[in-house]
Amino acid sequence: MSPSYTFEVEENAPGGMLVGRVHARDTDIANNPIRYLIPRYTDLEEFFSIGPEDGTIKTTRPLDRETQAWHNISVSATEIGGHHQDAKVRVNIKVKDVNDNAPEFATQEEVLMCENVAPGTIIKTVSAVDKDEMAHRQHFHFSLPPKLANNLNFSLKDNRDNTANVVVVRRGFSRLSQDVYELPIEINDNGVPPLSSSNTLVIRVCSCDSKDTILTCNVEPYVLPAGLSTGALIAILACIVILLAIVVLFVALRRQKKEPLIMFEEEDVRENIITYDDEGGGEEDTEAFDIATLQNPDGANGFLPRKDIKPELQFPLRPGMRPAASSVDVDDFIKTRISEADNDPTAPPYDSIQVYGYEGRGSVAGSLSSLESVTTDSDLDYDYLHSWGPRFKKLADLYGSKDSADDNS
């Protein structure tokens, strides 16, 4: 077997393409047959296969020179029978270049151009590269697409040295009207077969000083619309602010009506301070309780009847009773007062003290201290007790005159 082998195969050749053949022979007298194989560690991606009996090497799929230009593998030859001796040989396979990549710009940079650039100025010199194998006879040709042959902004001059110049045609560029221009350029090579591609050159208009030094390339918007002064713009903004303030004030007033921020004294439940200005038996006597229901309606107009004087109402005598001067039925009087107190919703509470003045000083009955006297010959006249009704009959019989008692019997 030879020390090494070198073969060539074309790029993009289909799978099964013959690459070459290795040969080995047994030098012994027996001349045993040989078996060939490719160790997988020398061809991990299995680009090649080998005939085990004849040693022919073929591709398993198309190869790409731009990815891998050389493939270095090993082939092992093993003797069948005998002592099973084997030998290895190195095989170098070169992938031949085929023009399968179109040329493209060497760099993808933007071109910065001043607004006041003069016509005929070269703003960019473009060059191209090709991923295919470069040779001294390879040449690139630059041109504008046919639809831009009469371009009024830029022109292209091929220098015939694999470069081209981009030249300005007119003057008066403005960033406000257009700040970016895209110029398509076609690049052709002289490969076999020839290939071409269209690449776009981006040209950005910038602001420059008198020495063509670039100041800024950002687009500056219009400061004010046409026909609108600064004062008018300020007035419009002031009106907008005033309208917004009115709307906010209106919303605040509406919310204040729905939810008042200041609580009245009656609605403030956070504190309940009770002031006791008088003496009484409970909360009815405090200002926290509505005491209007306990007030006497008769005193609303300034007239408050007194209940500590003798009533002027004269009640008729019951049958069988003797009339007396200035007589009054005390029993009916008390019942009447009790009925009035029970049915009067504005009557004082139960802990009030009712004073009946006719029972004490100034009454017709006078003082009851005479009951303690043991004198029988009293000159006091108790005949009026007969007019007080049956409840006082016992007293009338005890203290009244005998004539009156006989008459009543």
Domain annotation covers residue 329: yes
Q: How much is the pLDDT for 362?
A: 57
Phi, psi of 402 (to 5 degrees): -70, -30
Q: How far apart are CA 333 and CA 363, in angstroms?
A: 15
Domain annotation covers residue 191: yes
Can you tell me whether residue 122 is helix, strand or coil?
A: strand
Beta bridge partners of 10: 96
Domain annotation covers residue 296: no
Per-residue pLDDT of 229-251, as tens digits, reads 778 889 999 999 999 999 999 99
Q: Are 57 and 21 in contact (CB under 8 A)?
A: yes
Closest alpha carbon to 156 in 188, 185, 135, 127: 185
Q: Are 175 and 117 in contact (CB under 8 A)?
A: no
CATH code for the domain of 160: 2.60.40.60
Phi, psi of 61 (to 5 degrees): -160, 170
Residue 190: domain span? 104-216
* Same-domain check for residues 91 and 108: no
Beta bridge partners of 56: 21
* Cβ contacts of 329 within 8 Å, gap of 6 or more: 315, 316, 317, 318, 387, 388, 389
Q: Of the residues 67, 96, 125, which one is the last residue of a structural domain?
A: 96
Q: Of the residues 216, 231, 250, which one is the last residue of a structural domain?
A: 216
* Same-domain check for residues 125 and 63: no
Domain annotation covers residue 283: no
Q: How much is the pLDDT for 223?
A: 44
Give the residue ranges of the chain where pLDDT is below 50: 222-226, 261, 283-285, 313, 315, 325, 378
Domain annotation covers residue 256: no
* Same-domain check for residues 85 and 113: no
Instruction: Determine how many CB atoms are found less than 10 A away from the CB of residue 363.
Output: 13
Q: How much is the pLDDT for 281?
A: 53
* Same-domain check for residues 134 and 34: no
Environment class of 47 (CB within 10 Å of its CB; exposed 0-12, middle 13-18, buried 19+): buried
* Same-domain check for residues 327 and 356: yes
* Same-domain check for residues 129 and 34: no
User: pTM above the 0.95 mark?
Assistant: no
Q: How much is the pLDDT for 60?
A: 93
* Same-domain check for residues 167 and 205: yes
Per-residue pLDDT of 117-176, as tens digits, reads 999 999 999 999 888 776 556 789 999 998 887 788 999 999 999 899 999 999 889 888
Domain annotation covers residue 78: yes
Angle at 11 between CA 10 and CA 12, to 5 degrees: 115
* Same-domain check for residues 92 and 108: no
* Same-domain check for residues 73 and 8: yes
Domain count, the chain: 3
Q: Are 320 and 407 in contact (CB under 8 A)?
A: no
* Same-domain check for residues 87 and 27: yes
Domain annotation covers residue 374: yes
* Same-domain check for residues 117 and 182: yes
Q: Of the residues 151, 183, 216, which one is the last residue of a structural domain?
A: 216
Q: How far apart are CA 385 and CA 392, in angstroms?
A: 6
Q: How much is the pLDDT for 245?
A: 93
* Same-domain check for residues 177 and 207: yes
Strand order, beta sheet including 18-21: 18-21, 56-59, 48-50
SS (H, E, C) 62-116: CCCCCCCCEEEEEEEEEECCCCCCEEEEEEEEEEECCCCCCCEECCCCCEEEECC
Domain annotation covers residue 278: no
Q: How much is the pLDDT for 224?
A: 43
Q: How much is the pLDDT for 225?
A: 47
**C-alpha dist (Å) from residue 256 to 243, 244, 285:** 20, 18, 37
**C-alpha dist (Å) from residue 355 to 243, 295, 306, 313:** 74, 18, 10, 18
